[in-house]
Amino acid sequence: MRVELEDLRFSRGPFSLRGTGAFGEGVHLVSGPVGGGKSTLALLLAGLLSPTEGAIRRHGIASSLLLLQFPEYHITGSTVAGEVRSWGLEPDDVLVQADLSRRADDDPFRLSRGELRRLTLTCAILQNPDLLLLDEPFSSLDCAAKRKACRMIEGREEGITIIFSHEQAVLPRVDTISEMEAGALTGLGGVPGAIPRWRHAPAYLRYVLEQGARPENIRLADAREALCRTRG
Amino acid sequence: MQDPRLRLAAVTALSVAAFSSTAGAVAAFAWWLLFTPRTRALPRPGLLLPLIAMIAAAALVSELGGGAGLSYFIRMTVILLIAAWAYAATEEGEVLAVAVWALGDRIGFEIGLIAEMGLSGLSVIRQEIDQVRAAMALKGMRPGLRTVVPLAVTLIVTELRRSEEVARLLMVRGYAHGGRICPRFRKGAWDIPAALSALIAVILSVLPVGDVFILLGRSF
């Protein structure tokens, strides 16, 4: 499985996006500031926008799914259980995993943004598409829910997962890092080699690098471990 | 037209003319052809065509029921074109400026602020419709009658929540009522001729045009 961006260009009004690169099987992080073009790239990769120039080639991908930045746009069911069914899933297991077992009969609009995020994220991951695109999957989540979301993302055994996020506190283990800034996509390469080149790295990673440590991955636990190794 | 006061006056006159009679609608359409960027001021076909289709459906029902369906279709379509141009030509802050100029710092500011929020809400709704349609497409739901209800529910709920947030924000910032701004207006070379021409459409809409042509025919 592979997604290739061949001299991709997209323009809408004053905003333009450009990028070249490829995403293979594994978990990929596309980082960058708000307004840099991450959501637009996600829509392009999902096939919901068409490139102005260039192309996006998919190889060996039978199914794809994009989780939108604002979870309320996904709602089509009149109850939480109905919402899960609208994703083609059985509610029981999904609601347990999303910690929403007692909310099955509630109106999904009665859920908080965080609860709704947990619900849609769980549905998207359990659908297990070949290409899973997650636009700001950690927004509105507390630290415990973010860690759980990271475990679920890391638990995907196959397929391509691309996370578009400016998250700076809780991140999953990833295979590659790219940066999206002012509409330009820059691939930094595989982890751990890409970490020192990552300009939008979280503060804890920058601190660890300043201390001369070399973390194996981008999680806080990896940073801690690298520091321990350096300091004995 | 650059001056929003003259634009508002022209839009009001043209809407009244188009609504009043078919002759007024034809005159308003001629005005639209002469003084606007025409098709460049129209929304995308995905938004415009369903609106025209709705007008056509209502006109057809009226025509089949013995009413003036064709006249209704012409008048409403022209009003739609004028409204689309007015919306496209309006810049942020103009409605507030016109309302304060016309009605003062208290009532004018209140009305202008509400109108500004309404207009900005329209562009937000357009973006939200795109997002919801994208989300439905991701679930494999095709646009149709089955998707209208969830789409409408999502839009209503998100708009109510946004209104609540804006109201809270205004309260937190200490807004009670009214406000002071110093509106300034630019005027284009064609603003006054265009506004005066809009009045011709109003005159034509109330004038018994058919009688005028009969009288002219008799005199020759």
pLDDT in tens, B1-31: 899 999 999 999 999 999 999 999 999 999 9
User: What is d(CA A5, CA A47) in angstroms, rounded to the nearest whole number?
Assistant: 12
What confidence score (pLDDT) does residue A44 get? 95
pLDDT confidence band for B45 (50 / 70 / 90): confident
Instruction: Please count the structural domains in chain A.
Output: 2
Kindly list the residues from chain B whose CB atom is less than 8 angstroms away from the CB atom of residue A68. 131, 134-135, 138
**Residue A120: which domain range?**
72-127
Question: Looking at the predicted structure, is the pLDDT value of residue B218 above 70?
Answer: no
Backbone CA torsion sign across A7, A10, A16, A19: negative
CA atoms within a 13 Å half-sphere pointing along the CA-CB vector of B105: 5
Are A133 and A49 contained in the same domain?
A: yes
- Between A172 and B220, whose confidence is greater? A172
d(CA B79, nearest CA chain A) in Å = 28
Are A104 and A150 contained in the same domain?
A: no
Evaluate whether residue A199 is within a structural domain.
no
Evaluate whether residue A151 is within a structural domain.
yes
d(CA B41, nearest CA chain A) in Å = 15
What confidence score (pLDDT) does residue A173 get? 95
Q: Which residues of chain A have pLDDT under 50?
A: none
Q: Is the peptide bond before A196 cis (omega within 30 degrees of 0)?
A: no
User: Which A-chain residues 93-152 have CB contacts (< 8 A) with chain B?
Assistant: 109
Are A8 and A121 contained in the same domain?
A: no
Evaluate whether residue A173 is within a structural domain.
yes
User: What is d(CA B147, CA B162) in angstroms, rounded to the nearest whole number?
Assistant: 22
Q: Mean pLDDT, chain B, as a whole number?
A: 89
pLDDT average, residue stretch B104-118: 93
Are A116 and A134 contained in the same domain?
A: no
- Inter-chain contact A66–B134, Cβ cutoff 8 Å? yes
Tell me how many residue pairs between chain A and chain B have CB atoms under 8 A apart.
41
CATH number at residue A28: 3.40.50.300
What confidence score (pLDDT) does residue B215 get? 56
pLDDT confidence band for B145 (50 / 70 / 90): confident
Question: Looking at the predicted structure, is the pLDDT value of residue B149 above 90?
Answer: no
Are A120 and A133 contained in the same domain?
A: no
Are A14 and A122 contained in the same domain?
A: no
d(CA A119, nearest CA chain B) in Å = 15
What confidence score (pLDDT) does residue B5 get? 95
Position B8, amino acid: L
Are A48 and A137 contained in the same domain?
A: yes
Evaluate whether residue A55 is within a structural domain.
yes
**Residue A32: how many other CB atoms lie within 10 Å:** 24
Kindly list the residues from chain B whose CB atom is less than 8 angstroms away from the CB atom of residue A73. 128, 131-132, 134-135, 154
- Inter-chain contact B147–A76, Cβ cutoff 8 Å? yes
Are A59 and A42 contained in the same domain?
A: yes
Are A50 and A156 contained in the same domain?
A: yes
What confidence score (pLDDT) does residue B212 get? 60
Evaluate whether residue A96 is within a structural domain.
yes
Q: Give the chain A residue whose CA is nearest to the CA of B152.
A: A76
